């Protein structure tokens, strides 16, 4: 029983940490771009050059977004 409780707590903490570390849905809605516009890969918190520019300016207007 104790192991089950420990596993449940671990699962909840893992889910919370994963959600907190990734791109925010409001940014994708605001800019109309997908996650990999600013992140090195999907489900990663690591920013590429566009992401670093966005973090600094809070807008993509000043950032060079590659055409796809």
Per-residue pLDDT reduced to its tens digit, 4-47 = 776 776 677 665 544 444 567 888 888 999 999 999 998 889 99
- Predicted pLDDT at 60: 92
- Predicted pLDDT at 21: 43
Task: Encode the chain in three state secondary structure.
Answer: CHHHHHHHHHHHHHHHHHHHCCCCHHHHHHHCCCHHHCECCCCCCCECHHHHHHHHHCCCCCCCCCCC
What global pTM score does this model have?
0.61
- Predicted pLDDT at 4: 73
């Amino acid at each position: 029983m104790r192991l089950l409780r420990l596993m449940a707590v671990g699962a909840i903490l893992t889910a919370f940490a994963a959600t907190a570390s990734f791109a925010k849905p409001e940014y994708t809605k605001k800019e109309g771009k997908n996650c990999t516009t600013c992140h090195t890969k999907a489900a990663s918190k690591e920013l590429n050059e566009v992401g670093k520019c966005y973090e600094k300016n809070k807008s993509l207007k000043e950032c060079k977004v590659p055409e796809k």
